[in-house]
């Protein structure tokens, strides 16, 4: 996949990221082509939004990663902070791979959306099956 700035500018996702002021965050990741400290960068940006955006809005997180929770770090901790500051939360994840603490916290405090019902629409098998229309 081509992550050059010119290639990304034409992509619909670029416009969505720009509209929501996420370009600065994701550009650092995409420009390097490496996944170094990606979770930490995203968590820092979540914390910045939680503290800086008023009134509180909705955070939608697409992950199943619950690592760091027992150490007071990670995505679950950021979601806890968001709820504490009045934000609504949604987590979208594959049930089978979602951290049990992340799922439980989200179900108790927000909306949990499993990806399994959308499997045929969000996946494809190369040269065998295309994704179905949404």
Q: What is the mean pLDDT of the chain?
A: 79
Over residues 12-24, the pLDDT tens digits come to 555 665 665 555 5
58 beta partners: 88
Its pTM stands at 0.71
Query: What are the structural domains of the chain?
Result: 1-36 (no CATH), 50-134 (3.40.50)
Q: Helix 38-52 vs helix 23-32: angle between axes, to the nearest 10 degrees?
A: 170
Over residues 61-98, the pLDDT tens digits come to 988 788 888 888 889 999 999 999 999 999 999 999 89
Q: Is residue 88 packed enough to be buried (19+ CB in 10 Å), middle (13-18) or exposed (0-12)?
A: middle
Please tell me which residue, 86 or 38, carries the higher pLDDT value.
Answer: 86
Distance CA 28, CA 35 (A): 10
pLDDT band at residue 1 using 50, 70 and 90 as cut-offs? very low
């Amino acid at each position: 996949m081509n992550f050059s700035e010119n290639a990304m500018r034409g992509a619909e996702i670029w416009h969505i990221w720009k509209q929501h002021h996420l370009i600065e965050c994701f550009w650092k990741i995409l420009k390097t082509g490496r996944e170094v400290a990606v979770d930490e960068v995203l968590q820092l940006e979540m914390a910045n939004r939680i503290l800086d955006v008023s009134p509180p809005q909705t955070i939608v997180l697409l992950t199943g990663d619950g690592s760091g929770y027992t150490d007071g770090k990670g995505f679950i901790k950021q979601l806890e902070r968001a709820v504490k500051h009045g934000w609504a939360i949604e987590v979208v994840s594959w049930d089978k791979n979602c951290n049990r603490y992340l799922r439980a916290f989200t179900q108790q405090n927000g909306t949990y959306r499993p990806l399994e019902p959308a499997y045929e629409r969000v996946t494809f098998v190369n040269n065998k099956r295309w994704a179905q229309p949404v």
